[in-house]
A and B are shown apart, each in its own frame.
Chain A
Amino acid sequence: MDSPIQTDFIRWIVFLPLLGAIINGLLGAKIQKSIGKGAIGLIACTPVVVAFGLSLYAFFMLTGLEPERRFLIDNLYRWIDLGSLKVDMAFLVDPLSAVMILIVTGIGGLIHIYATGYMHDDNAFWRFFAYLNLFTAAMLTLVLGDSLLLLFVGWEGVGLCSYALIGFWYTDHANARAGNKAFIVNRVGDFGFVLGMFLLFWSLDAQGHGSLTIRDMVKFAPAIKEMMIWGMPVVTLATLFLFIGATGKSAQIPLFVWLPDAMAGPTPVSALIHAATMVTAGVYMTARMNVFFSMAPDTLNVIAVIGVATALVAATIALTQYDIKKVLAYSTVSQLGYMFIGVGVGGYAAAVFHLMTHAFFKACLFLGAGSVIHAMHHEQDMRKMGGLRQYMPVTFMTFFVSVLAIAGFPPFAGFFSKDEILWLAASSQHWGIWVFAICGAGLTAFYMFRQLFMTFYGRFRGDHHLQEHLHESPQAMSMPLVVLAIGAVLAGFIGLPAVLGGSQFAHWLEPVIHGHEEGHGSHALEWGLMALSVGVASLGAFIAYLMYRRESLSPAIFANLAGGLFYRLFDRKWYVDEIYQFLFVNGTLLLAKVLSAFDTYVIDGIVNGAASVTRFVSWLNGLFDNYIIDGIVNAVANFTFWAGNKFRRVQTGNINSYLYGILIAVAALIIVKIRYWG
């Protein structure tokens, strides 16, 4: 691969939304008050639309080049330069990132426009769009980042915006808590990500090619193929660490718990961040680093298993949900699981393909749900809905199309992308995975049609007063729905299965995704499996039809299976939240309290104890000084006094005794004189 082509316009794809964010963030309140929300909307939507235009321009620039040369770079400056760590602030457009920026700016732009309608009555309109623009800039940084470090900047940046937008209506603590949960769980993933980054950097450095610039890392990847650390290959450990990051960002087991709670945010946020873009960052990252993942088959197995487990578990939970957004949230987790199945069986291109189609139909579904919620005056319980297709035909049609797409009915987009993944799983002999994945597909069809029927068909079960006011959403909201639905219909055709001519999409991604799997197997097998997946989806849809449309089959039959055990398990989300709360949250808080008490009473106790001991010793010293040293001085004085008292007795005033004294003294002198001084 030769060096990429230098440009200087790519930076604007990132900077324009950033500029919008800064203007709305710093001046938004004033602008909203003086000019009005229309201005805010304009300041917010224009950069994204223009960025979309620039993205298209970049895309077409790429198509004009030969496949090996499809790399455009915009290098702003050297960001960090220390030793072998040389990281540039640079943006790279290649086939993979071109797809991503089109999705982010295109679908993102549509959602921005939708949000101008949806958030119209909110006073913090300007703040919402500041955050939304900031998010867009961060997501674009993530996908355009030339180095793993810059990718990580975007990675955390979208986490920040996700936090801010989930907790947007912050006066309710529950929303703030949901934001916290999202950020902290993401941080656990980020912890893994940075460790993987370090390991890769230093391993490459040991071979003389230390770098965090992705093109260089990919180029010199084979150099670290044989390296070991702690008894396992470096690439395996590093990719596992990176995958931990992906599970955080893309809501896989074990770090998926934040996504359903994230539904506390406004619906456009759910559509943009938690369906189309941020959550796909994990998939994008693995696709970007596919060279390393391909060198670590153990990691790929782990990814595939986690992917299918997540897909299935999330699907089971979605069966029991009544909140219109929660169903979609779990559906997103489940579909992300499918994307990781794709990665795990070596189908990076298939995973990205499903990412793209999913972006269309999931965004459409979420925006449709938003439309419903808007009409229902923020009621989200599907049991209070029903028969809405008469009142909201556009919403209904687009929703219906997207449901068909997600359930995997041909010729809608979801069919092609999901099927590609299933085919790759089967043809690479991952039959266990395939079986579970197919079950998941059936469940997907079931719960999506359940949602469709409960919401749009039958009688309206809600409040009568509300019923009188039901109407279709304004143009700003319904137009994006139509565009997205069209995408959900057509997007699949660029990724046709092998039997129908091969995937253009995978071909497009070839310069970045080396060795794409086409899957080996007979055409007959491929047709057979396709038919099977359609059949399973139809079965799921049919059962939903019987239960929720015809109401001839009671859901209670399944709910009461095994004494309601399964129902409770699914309804309580497999108790994962409870387990995490107990183990991690309560555990950490307990540890924090214990250590803090240790600090105050033991460590500080020792310090204060040392002070007390010193004071005690000095008190003893004082006593010693007062009573002993000084005592001796006083005792001498007292003795003198006592002796003097005693001697005073000599002064009797009595002449006789004085004479006695004289006599004795004289006698003594005489004796002494005679005896000793003779």
Chain B
Amino acid sequence: MENLLTYMTFIPLAGAAIVLVLPNNAKLIRWVSAAATVPPLLMAIWLFGNFDRNQAGFQFVEKYEWIPAFNISYYMGVDGLSISMVLLTALLCFLCIFASFGIDKAVKGYFALFLMLDAGMMGVFCALDFFLFFIFWEVMLLPMYFLIGIWGGPRREYAAIKFFLYTFFGSAFMLISILALYFSTEPHTFDMTVMMAQASKFGTEVLPIWPFNQLGWGFQHAVWMALFIGFAIKIPAFPFHTWLPDAHVEAPTAVSVILAGVLLKMGTYGILRINFPMLPEATADLTFWCLGALGVWNIIYGALCAMAQTDLKKLVAYSSVSHMGYVMLGMASFTTQGINGAVLQMFNHGTITGMLFLLVGVIYDRAHHREIDGFGGLAAIMPVYTGVTALAFFASMGLPGLSGFISEILVLLGTWQKYPILTILGASGVILTAGYLLWTIQRVYLGPPNEKYLKLPEISGREMFTLVPLGAIVIIVGVYPNVVLALLRASLDQLNQIVIPHL
């Protein structure tokens, strides 16, 4: 199908435009928005069926000249790395529209911004021209700022501006790197595939300026680091992660789900798409500390911080930090199991943490607070809800039979070959994760039912509708992981091969 990716990206944008001119009828707006996300979802399913799993290169490519003076083209395409993200985005955007049905103020603005965000996210994953990539990246920021800042919790302005400025700060570094790479290609171009092909041109001789000469860094290393800072903020990697707890806690439920489910993947996606193939020597030199050791620290630090939280949403936010640590660790391993596990973990984290935030949203909508110690015995009051929550929590813990296990075990297995010590440290995360998650289940769902909440209504049909697809995916991928792994394998193995010679 021609121009599939363009349609997937811009139909939500068209939807946003339509929503803006609709009359102020909340119901109409909601359903129109839902309708706007259905075509991308259907196209995603079609894409899933027609993606050639044996080909490592880019498929469904569209390339048009845009600004010839600077060699900027409109260049979209997917490969094994991005297809899982595209599928995840399409699904989560669809489900989150339904999760947003509870919004009742300024409904039009909310859904318009949300659809704009959709378009931005899809574009980032499909873009193969660096300029286009950057545009879509920035397009994501602004709707998020407003979504958090207007429809969020009590400290929303603080959280929104913190999120925006922090990410923007990273984008500044990214812009410098983009320009650096632009000027290093021959002829100057923003085309990512050309940059990948000309990777050998990006010099590695030590730069004579301080601090680069002290560190022994060349041009490649400097650019890699600049890009890494920009992406590390998004992952979020310690110590650039503190925007995340605030953003998650203050954001409305559906925005949290998108933030955790999709936006957090942009960081690691960027590193895999840009840093690895374009700057392989720097990758070989820098990943042990920047991805491996830092990833392990993310795992342990995130888990321990989660353990100390009293706000349920903040706990899930820190657990996200912890889970992304596994992705970072897998990326540093350069084995086929490690890197495939890492990208699978990206996908799984999107579904599992998406579920977790939706579930927190269910209880917040009813009790209007998220204090873990303020609940108790919810299993007796809302048994179905507890059952689904238990599924999500155990998936997060990496219980075999569910998807989280596959990705975590692949990451750890893959990393052992290169860095056994890091693996041992990273594996200790499973103990800590089980610790805080079970403790949370016990405080919130087990024990005698809390008097205040005896009359709490059970989970509704709409809420179940948003959770069931994710739950099903979690179980299916756990039992038959090839559903996702087959998509990834060819491209990721090729990616590994680009870097391995330099190790």
Chain A interface (Cβ < 8 Å from any Cβ of B): 29, 77-83, 85, 149, 152-153, 155-157, 160, 163, 167, 170-173, 176-177, 179-180, 183-184, 187-188, 190-191, 194-195, 197-199, 201-202, 205, 229, 588-589, 591-593, 595-597, 599, 603-604, 606-607, 611
- B413 contacts which chain A residues (CB < 8 A)? 85, 197-198, 201
In the complex, A179→B437 CA distance in Å? 13
Q: Does B26 reach chain A (CB closer than 8 Å)?
A: no
A77–B442 CB distance below 8 A: no
Most chain B beta carbons < 10 A, residue from A160, A184, A599, A611: A599
Q: Does B427 reach chain A (CB closer than 8 Å)?
A: yes
B416–A171 CB distance below 8 A: no
In the complex, A173→B482 CA distance in Å? 40
Q: Does B256 reach chain A (CB closer than 8 Å)?
A: no
By beta carbon, the residue of chain A nearest B340 is A82
B308–A194 CB distance below 8 A: no
Q: Does B337 reach chain A (CB closer than 8 Å)?
A: yes
Nearest-neighbour CB distance to chain B for A9, whole angstroms, equals 20
- B304 contacts which chain A residues (CB < 8 A)? 588, 591-592, 595-596
In the complex, A176→B442 CA distance in Å? 6
Main secondary structure of the interface of B (DSSP, over half): helix
In the complex, A149→B434 CA distance in Å? 20
By beta carbon, the residue of chain B nearest A154 is B400
Other than A149-B409, A591-B304, A596-B305, give 19 A-B pairs with Cβ distance below 8 A.
A80-B481, A80-B482, A81-B482, A157-B400, A171-B447, A176-B446, A179-B442, A180-B442, A184-B431, A184-B438, A187-B431, A194-B430, A588-B432, A592-B307, A592-B308, A603-B239, A603-B241, A604-B242, A607-B242
- B428 contacts which chain A residues (CB < 8 A)? 191
B446–A173 CB distance below 8 A: yes
By beta carbon, the residue of chain B nearest A190 is B430
B438–A195 CB distance below 8 A: no
Q: Does B150 reach chain A (CB closer than 8 Å)?
A: no
- B423 contacts which chain A residues (CB < 8 A)? 195, 198
Q: Which of B167-206 contact A (CB under 8 A)?
A: none
- A611 contacts which chain B residues (CB < 8 A)? 162, 165
Most chain A beta carbons < 10 A, residue from B412, B434, B436: B434
Nearest-neighbour CB distance to chain A for B450, whole angstroms, equals 11
By beta carbon, the residue of chain A nearest B486 is A81
- A163 contacts which chain B residues (CB < 8 A)? 438
Q: Digit string of B365-409 for contact with A (CB within 8 Å is 1, else 0)?
A: 000000000000101100100000000001000011100011001
Q: Which of B468-503 contact A (CB under 8 A)?
A: 480-482, 485, 489
B435–A184 CB distance below 8 A: yes
Q: What is the number of residues of chain B that contact chain A, defined by CB distance less than 8 Å? A: 59
- B485 contacts which chain A residues (CB < 8 A)? 80-82
Checking B336, B340, B447, B480 against A170 with a beta-carbon cut-off of 8 angstroms, the contacting residue is B447
B447–A176 CB distance below 8 A: yes
A157–B401 CB distance below 8 A: yes
Nearest-neighbour CB distance to chain A for B239, whole angstroms, equals 5
| Pairs A–B under 8 Å by Cβ, sample size 27 | A29-B383, A82-B485, A82-B489, A83-B337, A153-B400, A157-B401, A170-B379, A170-B446, A171-B380, A171-B446, A171-B448, A171-B449, A172-B447, A173-B442, A183-B434, A187-B431, A190-B430, A194-B427, A195-B427, A197-B413, A589-B308, A592-B307, A597-B308, A599-B301, A603-B238, A603-B241, A611-B165
A82–B337 CB distance below 8 A: yes
Q: Does B309 reach chain A (CB closer than 8 Å)?
A: yes
In the complex, A232→B482 CA distance in Å? 37
Checking B340, B400, B416, B431 against A198 with a beta-carbon cut-off of 8 angstroms, the contacting residue is B416
- A190 contacts which chain B residues (CB < 8 A)? 430
Checking B308, B400, B431 against A596 with a beta-carbon cut-off of 8 angstroms, the contacting residue is B308
By beta carbon, the residue of chain B nearest A152 is B400
B434–A160 CB distance below 8 A: no
- B405 contacts which chain A residues (CB < 8 A)? 153, 156
Nearest-neighbour CB distance to chain A for B401, whole angstroms, equals 6
Q: Does B31 reach chain A (CB closer than 8 Å)?
A: no
A603–B307 CB distance below 8 A: no
In the complex, A201→B307 CA distance in Å? 33
B431–A191 CB distance below 8 A: yes
- A606 contacts which chain B residues (CB < 8 A)? 239
Checking B307, B401, B410, B442 against A153 with a beta-carbon cut-off of 8 angstroms, the contacting residue is B401
A191–B307 CB distance below 8 A: no
- A198 contacts which chain B residues (CB < 8 A)? 412-413, 416, 420, 423
In the complex, A522→B423 CA distance in Å? 50
- A77 contacts which chain B residues (CB < 8 A)? 480
Q: Does B166 reach chain A (CB closer than 8 Å)?
A: yes
B448–A172 CB distance below 8 A: yes
Checking A149, A173, A188 against B431 with a beta-carbon cut-off of 8 angstroms, the contacting residue is A188
- A592 contacts which chain B residues (CB < 8 A)? 304-308, 436
By beta carbon, the residue of chain A nearest B408 is A194
Q: Does B319 reach chain A (CB closer than 8 Å)?
A: no
Known: A176-B447, A195-B423, A195-B427. A82 touches B410 (CB 8 A): yes
B307–A589 CB distance below 8 A: yes
Known: A81-B482, A183-B434, A595-B304. A202 touches B417 (CB 8 A): yes
B439–A202 CB distance below 8 A: no
A595–B336 CB distance below 8 A: no
Q: Does B326 reach chain A (CB closer than 8 Å)?
A: no
Nearest-neighbour CB distance to chain A for B55, whole angstroms, equals 17
Q: Does B345 reach chain A (CB closer than 8 Å)?
A: no
A187–B430 CB distance below 8 A: yes
Nearest-neighbour CB distance to chain A for B244, whole angstroms, equals 11
Q: Digit string of B438-464 for contact with A (CB within 8 Å is 1, else 0)?
A: 110010011111000000000000000
Most chain A beta carbons < 10 A, residue from B304, B340, B377: B304
In the complex, A177→B239 CA distance in Å? 34
- A205 contacts which chain B residues (CB < 8 A)? 417
- B111 contacts which chain A residues (CB < 8 A)? none
Nearest-neighbour CB distance to chain B for A185, whole angstroms, equals 9
By beta carbon, the residue of chain B nearest A150 is B400
- B383 contacts which chain A residues (CB < 8 A)? 29
In the complex, A187→B432 CA distance in Å? 9
Q: Digit string of B314-342 for contact with A (CB within 8 Å is 1, else 0)?
A: 00000000000000000000011100100
In the complex, A142→B301 CA distance in Å? 33
Known: A170-B379, A588-B304. A85 touches B337 (CB 8 A): yes
Nearest-neighbour CB distance to chain B for A379, whole angstroms, equals 22
A167–B400 CB distance below 8 A: no
Most chain B beta carbons < 10 A, residue from A77, A155, A607: A607
In the complex, A593→B480 CA distance in Å? 39
